[in-house]
């Protein structure tokens, strides 16, 4: 049974969540910044380069599914600590190997650790957060955005022929820091996967909950848009007449807004009345729609404004993450929902940029693709509206016949349970 944490343990928990969240993106985005140098250094083919870029999405999908069973066996803290050790091995060795296939294998090790933490960290926060759950989720989502923003900057620090090696090796020190924190955390928490209750054995599968399905779809659609924007937005802007410098700045606007959204979204969800909460994803989808339409019709006149609207729309990501603990009571259900929504969501996200690339090959221009993306925001808003409605996944699993009932006020916010 999980006991109430002491003051020192609470501080330790904040530090643990901070370092874990920071490491969720740095090791991935730092590679993208030096990918051309990696290709040249290893003489890699386009196919091998494509494998490197595809590893995160595929690994998130595969090992995200395996994370919850692993946590049942080792505990939440134990599973994450083990994944972090595996990831650290990859981070420390990857830059110094002599062939591309070893580099690809070690990249896989790096992302395995990230995939496990991706899924289990919301459940860990739900289990150990107590009255600090909202604050811990705020740390999680905001610091994740910081890691995404600063990760590529290491490429600017290290120059020379082997500068790329140091640019990705530097993040091994961040990986070491989280291992040094999470191994003692595992020793303190031991097997901290929530125990079975009288109702957990009779619950339905997670996918039988309509709310869980809509949260999964919401997470997937917002992730798909995010990956498309990260991969294609600069080219879309440049091809539309925006300078390369401004196109890069446009992407930075999205990154900054992502950090801001990480701070405000968990608190917003916790403090917004449940019957108003479903309006937020609709508003965010309208902002994203405005951004796509603006780039389509007036790309050069106000490119920064359209990127701002896209960045506001991208707050769907911290909202989707925060909905996972907000729409569950039992930490076991939180873990199951996270293990269901995130792997499927990242699989959709991995397909998004590939589909856009294929469509660009067919159309040869961006207006038809922007029209499709704009239409997709309508679906995003509708799915997000249903995902954020006042429903609790636990109730739908416990009583399928009452799946349409409103949740009780006591369990409808992030701070519950």
75 and 217 in a single domain? The answer is no
* Choice between 282 and 39, residue whose per-residue pLDDT is larger: 282
Based on the fold, state whether residues 252 and 364 are members of the same structural domain: yes
Q: Can you give the length of the chain in residues? A: 417
**Domain boundary, last residue among 195, 222, 247:** 195
pLDDT (mean) for 151-162: 82
At 111, is the pLDDT very low, low, confident or very high (cuts 50, 70, 90)?
Answer: very high
pLDDT of residue 153: 81
Q: Is residue 2 part of a domain?
A: no
Residue 357 lies in a domain: yes
Supply the mean pLDDT for the chain. 85
Considering the domain boundaries, does residue 416 fall inside one? no
Alpha helices in 94-170 (DSSP H): 100-128, 133-150, 154-157, 163-169
The last residue of a domain, from among 180, 195, 210: 195
Residue bearing the bigger pLDDT, 402 or 150: 150
Query: Of 186-190, 227-231, 388-392, which range is least confident?
Result: 227-231
| Average pLDDT for 274-301 | 92
Whole-angstrom distance, CA of residue 8 vs CA of residue 340: 33
Do both 216 and 144 map to the same domain? no
Alpha-carbon gap, residue 285 to 10, rounded angstroms: 36
**Residue 227 and residue 290 in one domain:** yes
Establish if 417 belongs to a structural domain: no
Residues 183 and 230 both lie in one domain: no
Residues 183 and 207 in one domain: no
Min mean pLDDT across 20-34, 50-64, 70-84 is at 50-64
Secondary structure percentages of the chain, helix, strand, coil, to 5:
80, 0, 20
Cα–Cα dist 158/373, whole Å: 37
Across the range 287-311, mean pLDDT stands at: 95
Question: Which pLDDT band holds residue 232 (cuts at 50, 70, 90)?
Answer: confident
* pLDDT attached to residue 414: 37
| Mean local confidence (pLDDT), 211-234 | 89
Residue 105 lies in domain: 7-195
Question: Would you say residue 373 lies in a domain?
Answer: yes
| Statement: residue 408 has pLDDT above 50 | no
* pLDDT band (50, 70, 90) for residue 35: confident
User: Is 164 within a domain?
Assistant: yes
Pair (331, 247) in one structural domain: yes
- Of the given ranges (102-106, 254-258, 382-386), which has the lowest mean pLDDT? 254-258
Q: Tell me, what's the pLDDT at 172?
A: 96
| Window from 96-100, 252-256, 361-365 with minimum mean pLDDT | 252-256
The answer on 272 and 176 residing in a single domain is no
Instruction: Examine the fold and report which residue of 145, 172, 195 is the final residue of a domain before the chain moves on.
Output: 195
- Which residue has 């590679």 as its token pair? 31
Does residue 184 sit in the same domain as residue 209? Answer: no
**Is residue 220 located within the same domain as residue 137?**
no
Residues 101 and 125 both lie in one domain = yes
pLDDT bracket for residue 417 (50, 70, 90): very low
Convert 32-59 to b/e letters by CB count within 10 Å (16 or more is b): bbbeebbbebbebeeebbebbbebbbbb
pLDDT for the residue 412: 39
Looking at residues 201-219, what average pLDDT do you find?
84
Encoded tokens for 386: 């249903």
Least confident segment among 105-109, 330-334, 350-354: 350-354
In this prediction, residues 98-103 reach a mean pLDDT of 94
**Confidence band (pLDDT; 50, 70, 90) for 1?**
very low
Over 60: is that where the pLDDT of 169 sits?
yes
Mean pLDDT of 221-240: 87
Give the C-alpha separation, 374 to 236, whole Å.
14
Residue 1, in any domain of the structure: no
The CATH number assigned to the domain holding 316 equals: 1.20.1250.20
Average pLDDT over residues 12-35: 89
How many folded domains does the chain comprise?
Answer: 2
pLDDT of amino acid 403? 43
Q: Inter-axis angle of helices 367-387 and 331-363, to 10 degrees? A: 170
Question: What average pLDDT score do residues 406-412 get?
Answer: 43
**Does residue 244 sit within a domain?**
yes
Same domain, 134 and 240: no
Report the C-alpha gap between 187 and 327 in whole angstroms.
30
| Candidate from 17-21, 56-60, 73-77, 86-90 with smallest mean pLDDT | 56-60
């Amino acid at each position: 049974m999980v006991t109430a944490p002491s003051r020192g343990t609470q501080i330790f928990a904040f530090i643990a969540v901070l370092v874990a969240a920071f490491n969720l993106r740095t090791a991935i985005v730092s590679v993208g910044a030096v990918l051309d140098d990696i290709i040249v250094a290893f003489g890699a083919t386009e196919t091998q380069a494509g494998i490197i870029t595809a590893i995160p999405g595929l690994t998130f999908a595969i090992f995200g599914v395996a994370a919850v069973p692993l946590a049942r066996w080792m505990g939440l803290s134990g599973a994450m600590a083990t994944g972090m050790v595996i990831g650290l091995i990859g981070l420390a060795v990857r830059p110094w190997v002599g062939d591309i296939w070893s580099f690809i294998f070690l990249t896989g090790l790096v992302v395995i650790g990230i995939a496990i933490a991706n899924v289990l960290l919301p459940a860990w926060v739900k289990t150990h957060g107590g009255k600090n759950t909202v604050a811990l989720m705020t740390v999680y989502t905001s610091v994740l955005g910081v890691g995404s923003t600063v990760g590529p900057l290491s490429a600017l620090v290290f120059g020379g022929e082997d500068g790329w090696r140091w640019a990705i090796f530097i993040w091994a020190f961040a990986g070491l820091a989280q291992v040094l924190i999470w191994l003692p955390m595992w020793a303190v928490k031991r097997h901290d996967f929530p125990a079975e209750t009288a109702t957990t054995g009779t619950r339905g599968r997670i996918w039988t909950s309509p709310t869980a399905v809509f949260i999964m779809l919401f997470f997937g659609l917002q992730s798909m848009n995010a990956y498309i924007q990260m991969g294609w937005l600069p080219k879309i802007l440049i091809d539309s007449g925006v300078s390369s410098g401004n196109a890069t700045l446009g992407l930075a606007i999205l990154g900054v807004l992502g950090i801001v959204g990480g701070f405000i979204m968990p608190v917003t969800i916790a403090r917004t009345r449940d019957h108003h909460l479903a309006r937020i994803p609709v508003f965010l989808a309208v902002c994203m729609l405005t951004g796509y339409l603006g780039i389509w019709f007036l790309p050069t006149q106000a490119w920064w404004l359209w990127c701002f609207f896209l960045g506001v729309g991208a707050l769907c990501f911290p909202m989707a993450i925060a909905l996972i603990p907000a729409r569950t009571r039992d930490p076991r259900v939180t873990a199951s929902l996270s293990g269901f929504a995130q792997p499927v969501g990242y699989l959709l996200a991995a397909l998004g940029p590939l589909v856009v690339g294929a469509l660009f090959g067919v159309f040869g221009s961006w207006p038809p693709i922007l029209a499709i993306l704009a239409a997709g925001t309508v679906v995003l808003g509708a799915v997000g509206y249903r995902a954020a409605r006042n429903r609790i996944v636990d109730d739908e699993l416990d009583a399928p016949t009452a799946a349409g009932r409103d949740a009780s006020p006591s369990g409808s916010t992030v701070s519950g349970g």
